[in-house]
Structure 1
Amino acid sequence: MMLRILALISLFVAVSTANAHPGHSHGFGGAVETGIAHPWTGIDHLIAMVLVGVMATQCGPRRWSLPLLFCCSMAVASLVGQAIGPISRLDLGLAITLIALGVCLVRRSHHAMVPTIVTLCGSLHGFAHGAGWGAGDVSMQYLAGVVLGTTALHLVGMGIGTAFNRTTFRSTWVRGTGTIACAVGIALLLGTV
């Protein structure tokens, strides 16, 4: 089961590119469908949102707090990003979010800073979504689609995290996932992915 999950994740990573920059289009049809697809099409978004889901399963009864913080901050920052527009080197910030979230998993941090880190990461990813829309181009339907796509990725991460929690080597799987995220973040920083 775990090998299948890892194979599926590897497939997503292998076929994805960092598309969180302005000016890309998916051509999936309507605004909601395009919004749902967007988080799934960039390796940076895909991994960050799955990581938040995995992290949520390590939070006990407050497991929904991290995905909720990420989605809310992402939605608000999307609107801010649309108003401000593109900024240079945004992809570097998105790569750093993978490193930050990965470090939280590697350290299995239950520190009070984790919700703040998740909120900042959600804000940065949201800003990237909004900055790519351009003034007046986005509809609330598209934003709703992005939030739905993000929620789906959080649920995928929660499924993976729940599977990790059922194994004898839970901490090894969680730390390994964090390490892989850090490696991808570093590779994106270096421009090799």
Structure 2
Amino acid sequence: MTHPRSLLAMPAAALALLLPALALAHAGDGGVHEHGLAAGFTHPFTGLDHLAAMLAVGLWSALTQTGRRMLAAPFAFAGLLLIGALLGAAGLSLPGVEPMVAASVLVLGLVAAARWHLGAAASALLVGAFAVFHGLAHGSELQGVPALLGMVVATALLHALGLGVGLRLRALAPAWSRAAGGAIALLGLGLLGRMVIA
């Protein structure tokens, strides 16, 4: 039988393995524009920052909400992600997009670790604000309705995965959700630190 302490060390070990992937996080618009449903679908998986934030939204929702309220933040994120992507594809550019994306990973990891309870509307507002910046980052790199549709479908799947993990962790000792949220927050801190050093 595995000792509980070694089980708690698993999220930390997983994070250590992921740290080299920080270099794969999106660096902004490099002038490459992707087209097509498949390109849009795979896009959220190509940046650890986006991937972690989308998982964290589902994780936090499952840990702190019940019933239909659990879907408020994921739906808000997906909807405002699409709006941000449409604005980005149309050429809108705001300063600080990448730092805000990294900050979202840190904040969403912290609120999940703390199991911070907000109402469904407040949760949706918080994640929705971050989602606009994620959308602007994606929209500067994706072109066309099929690509944007693929991005939204992938986002929904990542939210669903986060919800599933959160529901499982909710039934376990709080240390597990703290470890999962803490690992995401540490990733966000690392992403922000990389930007400061660069």
In the superposition, the TM-score normalised over structure 2's length comes to 0.80
Q: Which residue of 2 aligns with 1:93?
A: 100
Any unmatched runs of 5+ in structure 2? 1-6
- CA distance in 2 between counterparts of 1:38 and 1:109 reads 29
Rounded Cα–Cα distance in structure 1 between residues aligned with 2:74 and 2:176: 20
Partner of 2:30 in structure 1?
A: 23
Question: Does structure 2 retain, via aligned residues, the 8 Å contact 1:26–1:37?
Answer: no
Counterpart CA distance in 1 for 2:27 and 2:157 is: 18
- Cα offset for 1:114? 2.3
Alpha-carbon displacement from aligned partner over 1:110-139 (angstroms, at most 9, x marks no partner): 124322111111111111111234xxxx11
Q: Deviations over 1:141-183 (max 9, x none)?
A: 000000011111111111211221232x1x2122222211221
Shift in Å at residue 60 of structure 1? Answer: 0.6
1:104 aligns with 2:107: no
Aligned residues: 183
Return the alpha-carbon distance in structure 2 between the equivalents of residues 99 and 33 of structure 1.
Answer: 29
Separation of aligned partners in 1, 2:31 and 2:166? 31
- Given candidates 176, 180, 187, the residue that maps to 1:184 is 187
Matched, 1:143 2:152: no
Asked if 2 retains the 8 angstrom alpha-carbon contact of 1:71 and 1:151, the reply is: yes
Q: Return the match for 2:157 from 152, 159, 163.
A: 152
| SS of match in other structure, 2:163 | helix
Partner amino acid for 2:168?
A
Contact 1:20 1:45 in 2 (8 A): no
Q: Is 1:174 the counterpart of 2:180 in the alignment?
A: no
Aligned partners of 1:166, 1:48: CA distance in 2, in Å?
Answer: 22
From 42, 51, 56, the counterpart of 1:46: 51
Give the CA deviation at 1:11.
6.3
Matches of 2:97 and 2:59, distance apart in 1? 25
TM superposition shift of 1:8: 7.6
For 2:94 and 2:30, locate their aligned partners in 1 and report how far apart those are by CA, in whole Å: 12
Q: Distance in 2 between matches of 1:73 and 1:102?
A: 20
Contact map agreement 2:32 2:141 (CA 8 A) in 1:
no
* Larger helix percent: 2
TM-score by length of 1: 0.82
Contact 1:13–1:43 (Cα < 8 Å) also in 2: no
What residue identity is the alignment partner of 1:101?
L
C-alpha distance in 2, partners of 1:164/1:60?
Answer: 14
Q: CA RMSD in A?
A: 2.7
Identity across the alignment (%): 28
